[in-house]
Structure 1
Amino acid sequence: MTPFEGGSPKSYHDSRLASDPESDPIFRNNDLNMDVLYRSGETQQGVSTYTPRLLSLNFKGSLGSMSSHGTLYNEASSSRSDSSKTWFGDVDTQRSEPRKRNLFQQSLYEEEVQAEIEDKDIVGCLDEGVECWTDFSKSHYHPQSLYELSGLWMDSQDFNNYGIGKDVFSEASRGEEICDRLRFFVEECDHIQGIKFLVDDSGGFSALAGDFLETMADDYTNIPVLLYSLRSHQTSSSKKKTVSNKLHDAISFSRLSSFCKLFTPIGLPSLSGTKYLNLGDEKPYRSSGVYAAALHSSTLPFRMQQHTSSDSSEASNAMDVNTLVQLLTNRGRQNIVAILDSAMPAGKLLEKTLLTDLQTLTPEVTEDVEDNQSVESMCVLGALSSEDKEATVSQVRNAVDASYEQMENNTKPLFCNLSVSRCPLPVPLPFPSIFGNLVGRKGEILSSPVSSDSPYKGSLDVHSVPVATRWRSSSAVLPFLESRMVNLEKLGIQWGAMGSDVVREWGFGREELQEMRENLSKMVSELSPHQFSESSDSD
Structure 2
Amino acid sequence: MREIVTIQVGELANFVGSHFWNFQDELLGLASDPESDPIFRNNNLNMDVLYRSGETQQGVSTYTPRLLSINFKGSLGSMSSHGTLYNQGSSSRSDSSKTWFGDVDTQRSEPRKRNLFQQTLYEEEAQAEIEDKDIVGSLEETVECWTDFSKSHYRPQTLYELNGLWMDSQDFNNYGAGKDLFSEASRGEEICDKLRFFVEECDHIQGVNFLVDDSGGFSPLAGDFLETMADDYTNVPVLLYSLRSPVAQKKTVINKLHDAVSFSRLSSFCKLFTPIGLPSLRGMKYLNLGDEKPYRSSAVYAAALHSSTLPFRMQHTSSDSTQESNAMDVNTLVQLLTNRGRQNIVAILDSAMPAPTLAAKQLEKTLLTNLQALTPEVAEDVEDNQSVESMCILGALRSEDQEATVSEVRNAVDASYDEQSRPLFCNLSVSRVPLPVPLPFPSIFGNLVGRRGEILSSPASDLMCRGSLDVHSVPVATRWRSSSAVLPFLESRMVNLEKLGIQWGAVGSDVVRTWGFGREELQEMRENLAKMVSELSPHQFLESSDSD
CA 332–180 in structure 1, closer or farther in 2 if over 3 Å, else same? farther
The residue that corresponds to 2:438 in the other structure is 428
C-alpha displacement at 1:314, in angstroms?
6.8
Amino acid at match of 2:4: F
Q: Could you tell me how far apart the structure 2 residues matched to 1:511 and 1:341 are? A: 36
Is the Cα contact below 8 Å between 2:82 and 2:88 reproduced in 1?
A: yes
Q: Which residue of 1 aligns with 2:233?
A: 220
Q: 1:277 to 1:529 in 2, by over 3 A?
A: farther
Distance in 2 (alpha carbons) for counterparts of 1:477 and 1:208? 26
* 1:456 corresponds to 2:465: yes
CA contact (8 A) 1:263 1:337 kept: yes
Query: What's the CA shift for 1:393?
Result: 0.3
Aligned pair in 2 of structure 1 residues 12, 429: CA closer, same or farther (>3 Å)? closer
What is the TM-score with the length of structure 2 in the denominator? 0.92
Partner of 1:66: 79
Name the SS of the counterpart of 2:279 in structure 1: coil
| 3-state secondary structure, aligned to 2:481 | strand
Residues 314 and 394 in structure 1, CA contact (< 8 A), matched pair in contact too: no
Tell me the equivalent position of 1:369.
382
Q: Contact between 2:437 and 2:471, CA under 8 Å: does it hold in 1?
A: yes
| C-alpha separation in 2, matches of 1:132 and 1:480 | 31
Deviations 1:432-475 (A, max 9, x none): 110000000000000001123x3110000000000000000000
Partner residue of 1:346 out of 351, 355, 364: 355
Structure 2 residue identity aligned to 1:255: R
For the 8 Å contact 1:14–1:428, the answer to whether it is kept is no
Map 1:195-344 onto structure 2 (within 5 A): 195-237=208-250, 242-308=252-318, 311=320, 316-331=325-340, 333-344=342-353
Aligned to 1:167: 180
Shift in alpha-carbon separation, 1:328–1:374, aligned structure 2, 3 A: same
Q: Which moved more, 1:92-101 or 1:355-364?
A: 92-101
Structure 2 residue 402 is the aligned partner of structure 1 residue 412: no
Match of 1:537 in 2: none
Counterpart in 2 of 1:524? 533
Change (3 A) 1:229 1:236: closer
Contact 1:475 1:529 in 2 (8 A): no
Query: 5 Å matches for 1:365-404?
Result: 365-404=378-417
Residues 103 and 122 in structure 1, CA contact (< 8 A), matched pair in contact too: yes
Q: Distance in 2 between matches of 1:277 and 1:329?
A: 33
Deviation at 1:408, TM superposition (A): 4.5
> Within 2, Cα distance between the matches of 1:137 and 1:518?
43
The alpha carbon displacement at 1:85 in A equals 1.2
CA contact (8 A) 2:31 2:43 kept: no
Match of 1:439 in 2: 449
Which residue type is aligned with residue 503 of structure 1? V
Whole-angstrom CA distance in 2 between matches of 1:143 and 1:400? 44
Asked whether the 8 Å contact 1:12–1:33 carries over to 2, the reply is no
How big is the shift at 1:372? 1.0
For 2:478, the equivalent position in structure 1 comes to 469
Q: Is the 8 A contact 1:301 1:319 kept in 2?
A: yes
Deviations 1:508-539 (A, max 9, x none): 1111111111111111111115279xxxxxxx
* Residue identity in the other structure for 1:99: R
> Contact between 2:341 and 2:386, CA under 8 Å: does it hold in 1?
no
Structure 1 residues 131 and 3, CA, compared in 2 at 3 Å: closer, same or farther? farther
SS at match of 1:420: strand
* Partner residue in 1 for 2:118: 105
Aligned-pair distance for 1:83?
A: 1.3
Q: 476-485 or 149-158, which moves further after superposition?
A: 149-158
Paired with 1:59 and 1:3, the residues of 2 have a C-alpha distance of 28
Q: What secondary structure, in the 3-state scheme, does the structure 1 residue paired with 2:397 have?
A: coil
Please tell me the residue identity of whatever aligns with 1:94. Q
One-letter identity of the residue aligned with 1:483 = S
The equivalent position to 2:495 in structure 1, one of 483, 486, 504, is 486
CA distance in 2, matches of 1:520, 1:3: 32
Output the amino acid matched with 1:109: Y
Task: Report percent identity of matched pairs.
Answer: 86
Deviation at 1:148, TM superposition (A): 0.6
Output the CA distance in 2 between the equivalents of 1:183 and 1:54: 11
Task: Quote the Cα distance in structure 2 between the aligned partners of 1:134 and 1:364.
Answer: 31
1:354-382: CA deviation from partner (whole Å, max 9, x where unpaired):
11110100000001112111000000000
Whether the 8 Å contact between 1:13 and 1:28 is mirrored in structure 2 is: no
Q: Is the 8 A contact 1:61 1:148 kept in 2?
A: yes
Shift of 1:122: 0.6
Superposition deviation, residue 426 in structure 1: 0.3
Shift of residue 412, structure 1, vs aligned partner: 2.0
Whole-angstrom CA distance in 1 between matches of 2:407 and 2:323: 6
Q: Deviations over 1:209-244 (max 9, x none)?
A: 00000000000111100000000033444xxx7100
Deviation at 1:147, TM superposition (A): 0.4
Q: Which amino acid aligns with 2:337?
A: L
Q: What are structure 1's unaligned runs of at least 5 residues?
A: 6-10, 533-539
Aligned residue type for 1:271: L
Cα distance change on mapping 1:281 and 1:496 into 2, 3 Å: same
Verify the 8 A CA contact 2:324 2:431 in the aligned structure 1: no
Pairwise CA distance, 1:308: 2.9
Give the aligned residue type for 2:448: L
Which amino acid is the alignment partner of residue 151 of structure 2?
Answer: K
Partners of 1:322 and 1:232 lie apart in 2 by: 29
1:231-275 deviation per Cα after TM superposition (whole angstroms, max 9, x unaligned):
0033444xxx71001001100000000000000000000001110
CA distance in 2 between counterparts of 1:377 and 1:370 reads 17
Sort the Cα spacing of 1:425 and 1:379 in 2 relative to 1 into closer, same or farther, 3 A. Answer: same
1:504 aligned partner: 513
> Per the alignment, in what secondary structure is the counterpart of residue 398 of structure 2?
coil
SS in 1 for 2:351: strand
Deviation at 1:19, TM superposition (A): 6.0
> 3-state SS of the aligned residue for 1:468?
strand
Q: CA deviation at 1:332?
A: 5.5
State the match for 1:355 in structure 2: 368
* Alignment of 1:56 onto 2:69: yes
Superposition RMSD on alpha carbons, in Å?
Answer: 1.8
Helix, strand or coil for the counterpart of 2:273?
strand
For 2:243, give the aligned amino acid.
Answer: L
